[in-house]
């Protein structure tokens, strides 16, 4: 066994083996994998081995498609049979709502790059003769689905890595991790110590234990999961071909062929977490859990109804095994904040769909410093302290039980809520707010009419929120609205080196004292890393604000660049609340409420001032996402409730009205303002999305400068534009394809109804070749049909920006 190496990968399941292989594939060969028993000894050996590329997140989907292609690659390199059955797969719909969503998904696959097609019940029956299609409306077929041998695929990955120089130590238990003062690690095993630069937690079922060795909390919960293997079925034996992977979304089950019978897996409604505190070290390799046939009886009955011949075939074997779930079902990958050179690659629920994809992204991150494209959906830093043990269990169960639930974009799942509430929460509740969580904090989405239930109907079309949100928008454009924006992330950055540090980190010029600037963060590749707002409070003191759910993501980036700098970086998000008022009457309100002058010369647009508002000491920032004259007030949380009451009281005669995030998004959309995770992500560069106007290319040095300069003058395939869509009942949400006549021309990133301009609007990346021609008959596929669309040359509301500057 080596005593020194560059990377120790802990865990030899499908994920650890894939990480080992990808590190070598990308050029690092001094890497080892340590497995306490034999390869596959965790969840991997008893998996059903099904794989598919479909995922609602295009980047996850791209990685899954890549992962499927790796199986053949490693089979060739290693000579190890991976047992690949590329049968294709069908998602079937048995309700009208599901059928509509499946067709919507199919349209969006054009954007994601999945070559799927719709199939009729007759075609489904031909492909899978054992199905009862009597209530099936249709299905979605993807040829890039199937199943793989868990043993063969894991060994093929490990053998391929070994051929490239990696070493694999089985029957070797990692007992402890010692972090050295230089950031390197001593991996303590029962066979001796290994000194290394990086460790990767691929410990699957034991990821929590391996996390604890380094003081890291891993937000996962193992869940029990059953599948049955049937005896032989005549129709299967006589079938000329192999059954496709069948997913009955409404029945919450999956089925695939296994020899002359089938394997049927179920996601039952009464889920069972397993080993909620610790995973026993003596579990694994050949262990299975006791089947709970009573608990899965209803789910199995549904399976027998859908596939009637199963009832007669008999159950040959029942498998009940545990595998890990995160609160949102996505993996946990990337560097762990605060623990240098410690990498997470666990919580991978669908290891055979996702193993090589997450391994590729992680290996790029370790070797190149950043993964290719936006992988925030899988970033370990999307969770924070709010992901407590109870939170993780409740969310994990909710995800398991809703694995195939019809998920609408306006759905807010109820488990583990409320978790964090703002200081104004009770007041918002009294005014019938409908909430949604952001980084665990309940934030007001919209306000339901008094006397009605504060619940939004999940829908792909305009919901019951449409009318009230419209009223909120008009109140802001015509008078004054008030919103709790406490979820905004607030960072204080100060110290003797604060200026040089900030100047290097941000691609924009730093604001003067008392002023505010947009602050793009770039990756070394010149792609976007963040879209923050920078306020300069003193010569060497800044307040930086951004999207609240990115707190850990931002803090990690800040800290990674602060080595050797005399700079203090504090996340003040929870100790500071934030309330914003917006609308033409907001200055009148401020003049009555604030302790100082608030006219345009005293508090000009994009300036920040300390001032009392009522009894509360506030930092007032004159910025606006609504496109209206507006003020944000940052205040110690203890004052926030009284400040809110005071503003409502003083604003009463101006007709002040609370508004929520949905109205904010609609108002921002009318101004063509993009948002992070939609228009702005690491997939794009400043020049692609118009963020270049905030970049100071003349600055001598900042992260990503060289790449950003080269990119500024490059030709881009896509450009961010705004569209008006001719639609009367639904608006775009994201990733809808755009067509120019019948040619694919681009995709929507976000959409909303512009209530005060009375237009269905969307922001979209459109191929530049279609922007420069007269051939511009555009349409966008929204829900169930293509709807005509026009590219707008300017924002639909106040394109000159005079209202917010007034
Ligand atoms: C019944 C069932 C059916 C499933 N069906 C599918 C399916 O069809 N498709 C699909 O994609 N997924 C399926 N899964 C999920 C799949 O099994 C997991 O996503 C996958 O196995 C996770 O792999 P992993 O490598 O992350 O973890 P694991 O397989 O748990 O591997 C972790 C490894 O780390 C080792 N280890 C842990 N701690 C240490 C230590 N301290 N020192 C050394 N080694 C250590 C363990 O021994 C183990 O081998 C199924 C799961 C179950 C239970």
C-alpha 447 – ligand 1 centre gap (Å)? 44
Pocket perturbation via mutation, ligand 1, pick of 1, 13, 20, 36 by most ligand atoms within 8 A of CB? 13
For ligand 1, atom 25: residue with the closest CA: 13
pLDDT digits (tens, 9 = 90+) for 656-714: 999 999 999 999 999 999 999 999 999 999 999 999 999 999 999 999 999 999 999 89
Residues 322, 275: contact at Cβ < 8 Å?
A: yes
* CB 189 near ligand 1, within 6 Å: no
Q: Is 516 helix (H, G, I), strand (E, B) or coil?
A: strand
C-alpha 207 – ligand 1 centre gap (Å)? 10
CA atoms of 666 and 627, how far apart (whole Å): 11
Residues 85, 352: contact at Cβ < 8 Å?
A: no
pLDDT digits (tens, 9 = 90+) for 209-232: 999 999 999 999 999 999 999 999
Tell me: pLDDT of 363 over 80: yes
C-alpha 365 – ligand 1 centre gap (Å)? 22
Residues 606, 595: contact at Cβ < 8 Å?
A: no
pLDDT digits (tens, 9 = 90+) for 165-213: 999 999 999 999 999 999 999 999 999 999 999 999 999 999 999 999 9
pLDDT value for 790: 95
Tell me: pLDDT of 49 over 90: yes
The pTM of this model reads 0.96
* CB 173 near ligand 1, within 6 Å: yes
Q: How confident is the model at residue 251 (pLDDT cuts 50, 70, 90)?
A: confident
pLDDT value for 775: 67
Q: How confident is the model at residue 618 (pLDDT cuts 50, 70, 90)?
A: very high
Given the CA of residue 353, which atom of ligand 1 is nearest to it?
Answer: 11
pLDDT value for 311: 87
pLDDT digits (tens, 9 = 90+) for 562-617: 999 999 999 999 999 999 999 999 999 999 999 999 999 999 999 999 999 999 99
Output the six-digit token pair for 378. Answer: 């899988």
pLDDT value for 310: 93
For ligand 1, atom 51: residue with the closest CA: 47
CA atoms of 432 and 426, how far apart (whole Å): 10
C-alpha 12 – ligand 1 centre gap (Å)? 9
CA atoms of 627 and 255, how far apart (whole Å): 52
**How far lies 281's CA from each of 42, 174, 371, 510, 803, in Å?**
10, 11, 33, 53, 64
* CB 365 near ligand 1, within 6 Å: no
Pocket perturbation via mutation, ligand 1, pick of 12, 37, 43, 152 by most ligand atoms within 8 A of CB? 43
pLDDT value for 284: 84
* CB 554 near ligand 1, within 6 Å: no
pLDDT digits (tens, 9 = 90+) for 98-134: 999 999 999 999 998 899 999 999 999 999 999 999 9
C-alpha 323 – ligand 1 centre gap (Å)? 6
* CB 219 near ligand 1, within 6 Å: no
For ligand 1, atom 48: residue with the closest CA: 42
Q: What secondary structure does DSSP assign to 67-94, as a single string?
A: HHHHHHHHHHHH------B---EEEEE-
Mean pLDDT of 467-478: 98
CA atoms of 8 and 769, how far apart (whole Å): 47
Report the share of the chain in percent with pLDDT over 90: 94
Q: Is 710 helix (H, G, I), strand (E, B) or coil?
A: helix
* CB 350 near ligand 1, within 6 Å: yes
Q: How confident is the model at residue 406 (pLDDT cuts 50, 70, 90)?
A: confident
CA atoms of 492 and 15, how far apart (whole Å): 38
Alpha helices in 565-617 (DSSP H): 586-593
For ligand 1, atom 22: residue with the closest CA: 351
* CB 43 near ligand 1, within 6 Å: yes
* CB 15 near ligand 1, within 6 Å: yes
Tell me: pLDDT of 286 over 90: no
pLDDT value for 342: 98
For 661, phi and psi rounded to 5 degrees? -65, -35
Q: What share of the chain is helix, strand, coil (3-state, %, to 5)?
A: 30, 30, 40
Beta bridge partners of 91: 140, 247
Given the CA of residue 43, which atom of ligand 1 is nearest to it?
Answer: 29
H/E stretch holding 391 reads helix 389-401
Residues 206, 44: contact at Cβ < 8 Å?
A: no
Tell me: pLDDT of 74 over 80: yes
Output the six-digit token pair for 268. Answer: 């039952």
Mean pLDDT of 504-522: 98
pLDDT value for 784: 87
Mean pLDDT value across the chain: 96
* CB 141 near ligand 1, within 6 Å: no
pLDDT value for 701: 94
């Amino acid at each position: 066994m080596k005593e020194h190496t560059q990377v120790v990968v802990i865990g030899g399941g499908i994920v650890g083996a894939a990480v080992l292989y990808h590190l070598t594939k990308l050029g690092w060969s001094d890497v080892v994998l340590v497995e306490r028993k034999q390869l596959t000894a965790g969840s991997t050996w008893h998996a059903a081995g099904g794989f598919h590329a479909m995922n609602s997140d295009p980047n996850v989907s791209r990685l899954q498609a890549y992962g499927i292609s790796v199986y053949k690659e490693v089979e060739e390199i290693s000579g190890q049979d991976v047992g690949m059955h590329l049968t294709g797969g069908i998602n079937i719909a048995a309700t009208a709502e599901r059928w509509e969503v499946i067709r919507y998904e199919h349209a969006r696959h054009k954007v994601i790059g999945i070559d799927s097609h719709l199939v009729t019940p007759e075609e489904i029956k031909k492909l899978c003769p054992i199905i009862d299609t009597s209530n099936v409306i249709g299905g979605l077929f993807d040829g890039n689905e199937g199943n793989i041998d868990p043993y063969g695929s894991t060994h093929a990955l490990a053998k391929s890595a070994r051929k490239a120089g990696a070493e694999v130590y089985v029957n070797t238990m990692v007992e402890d991790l010692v972090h050295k003062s230089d950031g390197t690690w001593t991996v303590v095993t029962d066979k001796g110590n290994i000194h290394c630069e990086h460790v990767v937690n691929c410990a699957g079922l034991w990821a929590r234990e391996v996390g604890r060795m380094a003081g890291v909390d891993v937000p996962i919960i193992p869940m029990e999961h059953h599948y049955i293997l049937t005896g032989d079925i005549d129709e299967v034996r006589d079938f000329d071909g192999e059954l496709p992977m069948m997913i009955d979304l409404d029945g919450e089950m999956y089925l695939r062929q296994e020899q002359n019978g089938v394997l049927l897996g179920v996601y039952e409604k009464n889920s069972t977490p397993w080993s909620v505190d610790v995973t026993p070290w003596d579990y694994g390799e050949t262990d299975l859990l006791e089947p709970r046939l009573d608990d899965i009886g209803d789910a199995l009955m549904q399976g027998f109804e859908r596939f009637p011949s199963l009832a007669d075939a008999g159950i040959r074997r029942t498998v009940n095994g545990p595998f890990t779930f995160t609160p949102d079902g996505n993996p946990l990958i990337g560097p762990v904040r605060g623990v240098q050179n410690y990498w997470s690659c666990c919580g991978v629920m669908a290891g055979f769909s996702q193993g090589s994809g997450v391994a590729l992204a992680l290996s790029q991150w370790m070797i190149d410093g950043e993964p290719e494209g936006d992988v925030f959906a899988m970033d370990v830093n999307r969770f924070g302290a709010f992901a407590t043990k109870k939170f993780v269990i409740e969310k994990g169960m909710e995800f398991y039980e809703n694995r195939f639930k019809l998920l609408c974009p306006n759905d807010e799942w109820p488990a583990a809520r409320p978790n964090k509430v703002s200081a104004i929460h009770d007041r918002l509740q009294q005014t019938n707010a409908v909430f949604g969580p952001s980084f665990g904090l309940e934030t007001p989405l919209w306000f339901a009419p008094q006397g009605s239930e504060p619940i939004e109907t999940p829908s792909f079309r305009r919901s019951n929120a449409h009318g009230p949100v419209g009223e909120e928008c008009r109140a802001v454009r015509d008078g004054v609205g008030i919103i709790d924006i406490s979820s905004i992330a607030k960072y204080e950055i100060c110290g003797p080196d604060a200026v040089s540090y900030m100047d290097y980190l941000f691609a924009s010029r730093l604001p003067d004292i008392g002023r505010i600037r947009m602050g793009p963060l770039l990756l070394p590749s010149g792609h976007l890393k963040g879209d923050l707002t920078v306020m300069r409070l003193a010569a060497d003191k800044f307040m930086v604000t951004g999207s609240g759910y990115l707190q850990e993501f931002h803090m990690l980036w800040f800290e990674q660049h602060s080595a050797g700098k005399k700079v203090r970086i504090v996340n003040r998000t929870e100790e500071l609340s934030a309330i914003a008022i917006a609308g033409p009457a907001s200055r009148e309100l401020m003049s009555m409420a604030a302790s100082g002058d608030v006219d345009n010369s005293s508090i000009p647009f994009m300036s920040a001032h300390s001032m009392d508002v009522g009894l509360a000491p506030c930092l007032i920032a004159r910025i606006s996402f609504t496109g209206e004259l507006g003020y944000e007030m940052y205040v110690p949380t203890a004052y926030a409730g009284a400040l809110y009451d005071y503003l409502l009281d003083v604003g009463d005669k101006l007709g002040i009205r609370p508004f929520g995030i949905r109205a904010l998004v609609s108002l921002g959309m009318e101004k063509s303002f993009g948002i992070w995770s939609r228009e702005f992500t690491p997939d794009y560069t400043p020049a692609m999305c118009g963020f270049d106007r905030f970049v100071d290319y003349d600055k001598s040095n900042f992260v990503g400068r060289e790449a950003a300069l080269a990119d500024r003058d490059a030709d881009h395939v896509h450009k961010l534009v705004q569209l008006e869509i001719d639609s009367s009942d639904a608006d775009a949400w994201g990733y809808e394809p755009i067509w120019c006549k019948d040619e694919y021309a681009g995709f929507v990133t976000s959409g909303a109804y512009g209530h005060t301009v009375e237009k269905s609007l969307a922001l979209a990346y459109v191929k530049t070749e279609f922007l420069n021609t007269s051939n511009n008959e555009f349409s966008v596929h929204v829900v169930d049909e293509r709807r005509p669309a026009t590219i707008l040359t300017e924002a639909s509301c106040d394109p000159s920006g005079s209202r917010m500057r007034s």
